[in-house]
Chains A and B, each alone.
Chain A
Amino acid sequence: MRNYEITFIIDPVLSSEEIEDAASTYEKHLIKEGCKIVHNENMGLRQLAYPIKKRTSGMYRCIEVENQSSDFINKVELALRRDERIMRFLTVKLDKFGIKYNQDKRAGLIGKVKKKEEKEAEEKARLEASRAEHAAKTAVAADAALTSSEEE
């Protein structure tokens, strides 16, 4: 079994249904070629680093598939090349580390490492919250003490 990753950019001028349609077309095409879809990721609208076909942004889609052979790639790439809705595409074969990375990413194990300042800010907020809680508790206790003393 080999895993491949197909990333493509869809023209953002199309309506959202047309974009959805374009993405699902290729998903169906891949299934028809005998691939098993591992994951279909919608990376959303992104700013392009340089203009392509006079567009400055694009809808990114990424499909990870599993197949026995690589015969399907030529057919799918031909279809992608002919399609005017697709601005760019890239097919990559994933090695075992790539597969592991994608699995971890989906499980949420890979994320942004928090910067030191952010961590400190979080710590501070937590401390303040606990302090406020403590203050509230003591206030309640004091209130209770007051009321009890009044009763007396």
Chain B
Amino acid sequence: MAVNKDIKFLTNPNIGKNRQKYCRFKKYGIKYIDYKDADFLLQFINPQGKLLPRRITGTSLKYQRKVASAVKRARHLAILPYVTDLLK
């Protein structure tokens, strides 16, 4: 008979847990978001070229506004598309 001590967990205890989200701008001290840097801005838009919500990226409100304006500037300059499919 298996002793209770041998079976510690029936399932991986880390599976259901949500990883703590954080604001990368606050964490790494990024103060300015460059609208010419397409590769960086790609992290904040979905495959259709739409802005990702804060609840997914974890960005704080202050920097989400800056991200949004940077993406909009990049779209005007044709660095990012307004509408597409399969961007990433």
Contact = CB atoms under 8 A, between A and B. Distances in A.
Contact of B78 (A43, A50, A62, A95): A50
Contacts, number: 41
Q: Interface SS of chain B: helix, strand, loop or mixed?
A: loop
B33 to A, nearest CB: 9
Interface residues of A, number: 21
Interface in B20-65: 31-32, 34-36, 39
Contacts of B34: 101, 105
A113 to B, nearest CB: 10
B76 A43 contact: no
B16 to A, nearest CB: 27
A90 B31 contact: no
A90 B32 contact: no
A101 B34 CA distance: 8
A7 interface: yes
A49 B35 CA distance: 14
A52 interface: yes
Interface of A: 7, 9, 43, 46, 48-50, 52, 58, 60, 62, 88, 90, 92, 95, 97-98, 100-101, 105, 112
